[in-house]
Amino acid sequence: MSHLVVTRAGAGASTGAVDADPITTEVIRHGLDSAASQMKRALVRTAFSPIVYEVLDFAVALYDDRVRMLAQAPSLPLFVGRLSFCVANAVAAVGGAGELEPGDVLLYNHPYGTGSHPQDAALVMPIFLHDEELVGYAAIKAHWLDIGGKEPYATDTVDMFQEGTIFPGVKLVSRGEIVRDVYRIALANSRVPKAVAGDINAELVGVRTGAAQTLRIVERYGLDSFRESVERMFDHGEAVVRSWFERIPDGVYVGRGTLDGDGVVEGRIGFDVELQVAGSSVRVDYSRAPDQRRGPVNSALPKTVSSTRVAISMLAGGGEWPNEGHFRPIEVVTRPGSLFHPLEPAPTFIGGWAANGAIDAIIGAVGSAVPEAVPAASGGDICSLVWWGRHADGEPWADGSPHPVGQGAHARGDGANAMMHVSESATRIAPVEVWESRNPWLVERAELAVDSGGAGEFRGGTGLDLDIRLLEDAELTSVVDRTTTPPAGLAGGGPARPNAAFLRRADGTRVECEKATRLAAPAGSTLELRTGGGGGFGEPERRDPAAVAADVREGYVSGERARAEYPHAFEP
């Protein structure tokens, strides 16, 4: 297909005509942020799965009645601005807002409407004032450990029907009462129904909390004042982003990304992302991306839009919690049938890896214009591992997590060591004690990786070396990309080590497992994960000799490598 699609934020451009009281606006803005935080806390405190309550693989957000984002609590950044698609599509699927009633909760996980794999199931609750007037929505999308796909996690699907059971917008709760048939279907299509049941109930607690807290704000200030303040709040968010782009020279800048393969067909996949900066607006053009792939790395449109918003918000958002206004200056251009706008039923299960590459490409494009505005490349991946099996008593178990990489250095200092990729920067890995108490394994090694960061005036952050030994037979799906493309330095900085993953069996054989689905991991075998470092910034010969000595003393850089890359630090 040759036509292009342009996606903009739903709020439209600022009119500058809103005259809401600024103090009231700020109180309401912070109140909405607090309401979203309470949603998040309610979910975390009641969830059953570590991937929710420890890893924070979810998103919680509040929307107005026009499906414009009011607030989103910090959790999985890659979901920023994506729940709007979930809300709009879920409501449309049940016949529109006129079919909603107080107490309803919708269940929606269609991958082309959420931009996620089916495990990321969204619950959407309409918020009614005095059980009459619709004022907004509370929405949560959280990762269920299993929802009946060909595997709990897969890198080799060839259509969306292999990826999980699809709920295309149905009422899970009707007027406050659970719809038992829908609930039973969800549990019947899971290998770990107890965990999924607990997480469904936790999501219900979360959306009800968000709805109640939003109503408190509306009732306190009145609906008209609330809506006026929301418009001013959006205008402020828009102004923050526009003021940042006004400092970037007008022009067209290109960032480039690479994937190791699509999980089905071997061979690296390159793509370009073009930034067109004009005044205070930015157009991000994906139209030159390759055609959609046979394997599941395709990034559905909501995910592509979300990853663009993540990159721009992180750079230009002023450190604020984003709302719909922050997205107004951004246009996203895609080509249907391509990697960043696939068409049904193309597989999209691990499309997040293309989205991560898009974020890095956008940052790289800005860096080509203003190097001091961005960091060098990070490890460029979330290095995801998902495990499952059955204990000796027959009880099923499952767990999964992203893993941290080194962050790129920048004009103001060294890169951070072993932190999540920016797309997951508010998430975390579970403590070793939690892992070992819930799962049949031992963590034999978890340490910062010496010599993994790129050299430079400012050193790239280190990656992570992680060894996990299995105590019982298990199955493993690993999704580790950017193994063939070392993270690049910036402004003369050096590259870092790339990612890698191996399974070492008890007999000593060692196999690569960067993209592997349902890999047998017998008891006694060890998963060896080596996450990438961050690129360096600036010429290495400009690094302070005292900083080099500190790197060696602290174990970030070996003495041998320090002498090779920073010889000036060892001169008399």
Please give the chain's pLDDT, 572 residues, in tens. 458 999 998 644 555 556 789 999 999 999 999 999 999 999 999 999 989 998 899 999 999 999 999 999 988 888 888 899 999 999 999 999 999 999 999 999 999 999 999 999 999 999 999 999 999 999 999 999 999 999 999 999 999 999 999 999 999 999 999 999 999 999 999 999 999 999 999 999 999 999 999 999 999 999 999 999 999 999 999 999 999 999 999 999 999 999 999 999 999 999 999 999 999 999 999 999 999 999 999 999 999 999 999 999 889 988 888 999 999 999 999 999 999 999 999 999 999 999 999 999 999 999 999 999 999 999 999 999 999 999 989 999 999 999 999 999 999 999 999 999 998 887 888 889 989 998 999 999 999 999 999 999 999 999 999 999 999 999 999 999 999 999 999 999 999 999 999 999 999 899 999 999 999 999 999 999 999 999 999 999 999 999 999 999 999 999 999 999 999 999 88
Q: Which of 520, 478, 480 is nearest to 500 (CA)?
A: 480
pLDDT digit string (tens) for 555-565? 999 999 999 99
Which residues share a beta bridge with 72? 61
Length of the chain: 572
The DSSP secondary structure of 57-112, one letter per residue, reads: -EEEEEEETT--EEEE-SS-GGGTTTHHHHHHHHHHHTT-GGG--TT-EEEE--HH
Rounded to whole angstroms, the Cα distance separating 546 from 527 reads 37
- pLDDT tens for 525-567 read 999 999 999 999 999 999 999 999 999 999 999 999 999 999 9
Q: Which residues contact 99 (CB under 8 A, 6 or more apart)?
A: none
572: exposed, middle or buried (Cβ count in 10 Å: 0-12, 13-18, 19+)? exposed
Nearest-angstrom CA–CA distance, 126 and 94: 12
Q: How far apart are CA 299 and CA 355, in angstroms?
A: 6
In angstroms, rounded to a whole number, what is the distance separating the alpha carbons of residues 334 and 341? 6
Residue ranges in 153-222 assigned as alpha helix (H): 180-188, 193-221
Assess contact for 426 and 36: CB atoms under 8 A: no
User: So what's the pLDDT on residue 426?
Assistant: 79
The Cα–Cα gap between 269 and 289 comes to: 10
pLDDT value of position 321: 86
Structure token digits, residue 351: 């499309």
Residues 313-327: b if buried by 16+ CB within 10 A, e if exposed: bbbbbeeebbbbbbb
Give pLDDT, residue 197.
Answer: 97
Please tell me the distance from the alpha carbon of residue 92 to that of residue 103, in angstroms, as a whole number.
Answer: 18
Residue 203's CB: how many other CB atoms inside 10 A?
A: 30
Q: Strand pairing partners for 511?
A: 503
Q: Is 136 exposed, middle or buried, given 0-12, 13-18 or 19+ CB atoms closer than 10 A?
A: buried
Per-residue pLDDT, 17? 52
Within a 13 Å sphere around the CA of 51, how many CA atoms are in the beta-carbon half?
Answer: 26
How far is 134 from 120, CA to CA, in rounded Å? 26
Chain-centroid distance, C-alpha 328: 21
CA 86-50-303 angle, 5° bins = 25
**In the numeric block, which tokens belong to residue 321?**
């919690």
Q: What tokens appear for 210 in the block?
A: 């968000």
Q: Per DSSP, what are the bridge partners of residue 259?
A: 269
Token pair for 528: 């060896």
End-to-end CA distance of the chain: 65
Cα gap 284→7, rounded to integer Å: 10
pLDDT tens digit sequence for 354-368: 999 999 999 999 999
543: closest CA among 489, 498, 465?
489
